[in-house]
Structure 1
């Protein structure tokens, strides 16, 4: 099951389109969820009964429109709608149990598609076990490439596995990006570094990681992209021609990081393609 959060915004519509297309590729059902959040009205001056009917009616309208869109795009996908009371982040955390992935818009009117880099990201991508896909509102042509960031830690392996699966389902090329930098002490006088050896070692990191998955995905063409660069710059640059960018949410190297760390935060701010955050 794939879960997508909606709030009536344009980016939420884009998230529904992405989610239903992915549900078709993965052979999954789709659950469209809207959170009825009464918390802004539950203060002393506003009785609880002042707005619930309007909130419920609006939620049902949003769900009807999202359901119609999903059926229009992929009529063969099984789709259900859920209107649930609670804070959006808490609702999504609960819905993530047993889900193949969670899909969200990156901007919106509030609720799920609202400020992703604030409370929703903290409570969803940082705490759920399934991949969280962040979708922008702009439509992009199909590029035929999936990009994934890897480092030298086992924490990047779930992201790499997810990326291989997505590339295989899409018939896309998989670009494996590894960004590296010399340590600060490398620039100290008298510290010798053989750059060919350094580059070779970094290339071997990618080969070792990729080799764990190529046997299961013989149809996927892999491009090993190893470059001396800052991770955010490398991933953002590579994602310009991608349909999806995949990053890990944990790791000890330069590419994978927690969602609220500098790499994932930078990627979510600067890339225009959908981003999948996969926890280790």
Structure 2
């Protein structure tokens, strides 16, 4: 069964840019597109409505928003199977539930507040934390297209073991037929100098070599058809991944398995969601 790609909309321009991207992605995957508007309010009132949705009174209904979003999707792919849903519920709860039967969830950054989308909105952050499917947040200054453009590769942050994020990255690279840049950050602790009794020679080189071995181990199951670039970079993981996002078309990161406190985002994922230069995919590492 082809699970649909779900995109959340709220009538703002960032959410309609997410529809553009989601339509491309659904067509690329060969799955239906489901457009969801979730709100406890029947009407939308706010300064951040996209021009194609707004009216002279500034008051529009959920159906107005959904119709504009569907039209935008079909302008990209006229034959794409597209459905819409008006859900009278808080958007974060509705979208997390929608994700249980979705191949992925697509969202914009910040909408209803009317603020510049410099930081991630609370709805997108909550969904990225709790959804049990990949969550794609459309941000950065790149085009609104899932494929094409000058950013012709995907980047993935790699841990020391194979993860769901890495497997997802393989599939996306094959689907788009673009290179995959696998990035592993490493650090040399300040207290471990050449005087440390367990270290001789260049301690930084030893940490870099260990990072390279861990990267190879995590990529041991890479499909032969994936054009893989391996890169180890010294520095905090969040800084390394933000740098990688500046010239990538897509950045993929993993979300750790839920602990006793429930689902949560680590500092690295939290940072790239707020500041990435390209769309970010958060892939839950679930059993």
SS at match of 1:32: strand
- Write out aligned runs for 1:77-116 (5 A): 77-109=80-112
SS at match of 1:264: helix
Determine which of 140, 153, 171 is the counterpart of 1:145.
Answer: 153
**Cα drift, residue 120 of structure 1:** 2.1
Q: Which has the higher helix share?
A: 1
**Cα drift, residue 219 of structure 1:** 2.5
1:16 aligns with 2:19: yes
Q: Which residue is 1:261 aligned to?
A: 266
Q: Which residue is 2:215 aligned to?
A: 206
CA distance in 2, matches of 1:236, 1:36: 32
CA distance in 1, matches of 2:159, 2:225: 24
Change (3 A) 1:104 1:110: farther
**Cα drift, residue 260 of structure 1:** 3.5
SS at match of 1:129: coil
On the 8 A contact 2:186/2:207 being kept in 1, the answer is no
- Write out aligned runs for 1:49-88 (5 A): 58-88=61-91
1:54-109 Cα distance to aligned partner (Å, 9 max, x none): 99952111111110011110112110000110000011011111210000001212
Change (3 A) 1:33 1:198: same
Change (3 A) 1:137 1:63: farther
1:175 aligns with 2:206: no
Per the normalisation by structure 1, the TM-score is 0.82
On the 8 A contact 2:154/2:249 being kept in 1, the answer is yes
CA distance in 1, matches of 2:161, 2:151: 29
- Write out aligned runs for 1:43-54 (5 A): none
Change (3 A) 1:114 1:95: farther
Per the normalisation by structure 2, the TM-score is 0.80
Determine which of 208, 223, 230 is the counterpart of 2:229.
Answer: 223
Determine which of 113, 128, 139 is the counterpart of 1:125.
Answer: 128
Moved more, 6-15 or 184-193: 184-193
CA distance in 1, matches of 2:67, 2:193: 60
Gapped runs of 5+ residues in structure 2?
44-56, 144-148, 258-262
CA distance in 1, matches of 2:237, 2:248: 16
